[in-house]
Amino acid sequence: MIFHRPRRNRQNEVIRSMVKETFLLPEHFIAPLFVIEGKNQIIPIKSMPGHSRLSIDELIKEAKELYSLGVKCVALFPAIDDKLKTPDAREAYNREGLNFRAIRAIKESVPGMLVMADVALDPYSSEGHDGLVDPKTGEILNDPTLDILAKQAVCEAHAGADIIGPSDMMDGRVGHIRRALDESSFQNTLIMSYTAKYASAYYGPFREALDSAPKKGDKKTYQMDPANSTEALREAELDIEEGADILMVKPGLPYLDIIYRLKEMSPIPVAAYNVSGEYAMVKAAAQNGWIDNDKVILETLTSFRRAGADIILTYFAKEAARLLNR
């Protein structure tokens, strides 16, 4: 006799729906978008089929479409002209710069859409690093970088950004940015901290999209070692103490254990960033006919929610929202 038959709970669609533990909605997604100068520009990103760098007019169209599908937050990444990249990354807080014009345009043209703005120097730095680089030693300088990050964040809030996303991994940046925002009366601007951001090879396609790869060296002195997990708890404790509103883990799929561990300990929501390389792998296999594109997308995104992510930043946002709305 077999008394215990787990299959009884799986025998038809109705019972399966009743016992379902995890739900996935377009409202859970944040859609990352790449921005460039110009008009009517849609420049495909080779390693990210289906994604392009968009000029602001095209960016608005894309944001409107996302909103109508139920995706109500976008994260903007500007591709900065090489001529504007300098060692001190001063373009990062030029209020007429591409980043701030893009934020303003979306806030003006897509009512209700939340805008998340990235904080880090790499798109603006001629060195391709997230912090300032000591010209003699090559060291990534922590404390001198903080004021620039805070200036960038305040400019983003001025432009209308709802969520500030520090992706730079400098120590103390969340507290530094929080104080600067509050001093400029942006008490209501959220901070979603890239809490556990790993020194990952999965960022390759993103760096191609922005042409932002480090000129020298790697990011291992500030981004986390993929071998570490307890260290993520320390980062989380610091971010919470410094005033973060939401924690984030990045990359996503190879780090589901980190999402789970943070969700277990965190009194604030946890987000996952399903990064460019993860997107590229699914697309490459699907284009070869080796996997079912739609099913793999939904299974992947469901796994983030199952692991504990409240929010998912994903390049699949539009496709997945379409599938979920069907």
Which range touches ligand PBG (CB under 6 A), out of 37-45, 62-70, 89-97, 117-125? 117-125
Stretch that binds ligand PBG, among 21-29, 57-65, 114-122, 296-304 (CB under 6 A): 114-122
Q: Which residues contact 293 (CB under 8 A, 6 or more apart)?
A: 282, 283, 286
- Residues in the interface with ligand PBG (CB under 6 A) total 11
Q: Largest alpha-carbon pair distance within the chain?
A: 76
As a whole number of angstroms, the distance between CA 227 and CA 220 comes to 12
Q: Does 130 bind ligand PBG (CB under 6 A)?
A: yes
- Comparing CA positions, the residue from 233, 232, 192, 251 lying closest to residue 73 is 192
Among 120, 133, 191, 248, binds ligand PBG (CB under 6 A): 120
Q: Which is nearer to ligand PBG, 148 or 275 (CB)?
A: 275
Positions 240 through 299 that interact with ligand PBG (CB under 6 A): 275-276
Residue type, 264: E
Nearer CB in complex with ligand PBG: 154/224: 224
Choices 51-59, 116-124, 137-145, 318-326; region in contact with ligand PBG by CB under 6 A: 116-124
**Set 197, 219, 283, 318: catalytic member:** 197
Task: Provide the token pair at 133.
Answer: 């680089």
What's the closest the beta carbon of residue 285 comes to ligand PBG, in angstroms? 18
Supply the minimum distance, in Å, between the C-beta of residue 3 and ligand PBG: 48
Could you tell me the smallest distance in angstroms from the CB atom of residue 95 to ligand PBG?
A: 20
Residue (251 or 308) nearer to ligand PBG, CB: 251
122, 235, 239, 242: which one contacts ligand PBG (CB under 6 A)?
Answer: 122
Q: How far is the CB of 13 from ligand PBG (least distance, A)?
A: 35
| HEC-encoded secondary structure of the chain | CCCCCHHHHHCCHHHHHHCCCCCCCHHHEEEEEEEECCCCCEEECCCCCCCEEEEHHHHHHHHHHHHHCCCCEEEEEECCCHHHCECCCHHHHCCCCHHHHHHHHHHHHCCCCEEEEEECCCCCECCCCCCEECCCCCCEEHHHHHHHHHHHHHHHHHHCCCEEEECCCCCCHHHHHHHHHHHCCCCCCEEEEEEEEECCHHHHHHHHHHCCCCCCCCCCCCCECCCCCHHHHHHHHHHHHHCCCEEEEECCHHHHHHHHHHHHHCCCCEEEEECHHHHHHHHHHHHCCCCCHHHHHHHHHHHHHHHCCCEEEECCHHHHHHHHHC
Residue whose CB is less far from ligand PBG, 109 or 226: 226
Which range in 88-96, 175-183, 202-210, 225-233 contacts ligand PBG by CB under 6 A? Answer: 202-210
Report the residue from 93, 203, 304, 316 that binds ligand PBG according to the rule CB under 6 A.
203
Q: Taking the complex as a whole, how short is the minimal distance between the CB of residue 32 and ligand PBG, in angstroms?
A: 6
Q: Does the annotation mark 39 as catalytic?
A: no
Of 33-41, 98-106, 176-184, 203-211, the window that binds ligand PBG (rule: CB under 6 A) is 203-211
For the question of residue 197 being annotated catalytic, the response is yes
Nearer to ligand PBG, 186 or 198 (CB): 198
User: Which is catalytic among the residues 20, 46, 61, 250?
Assistant: 250
Which residues are catalytically annotated? 197, 250
Q: Which residues contact ligand PBG by CB under 6 A?
A: 118, 120, 122, 130, 167-168, 203, 206-207, 275-276
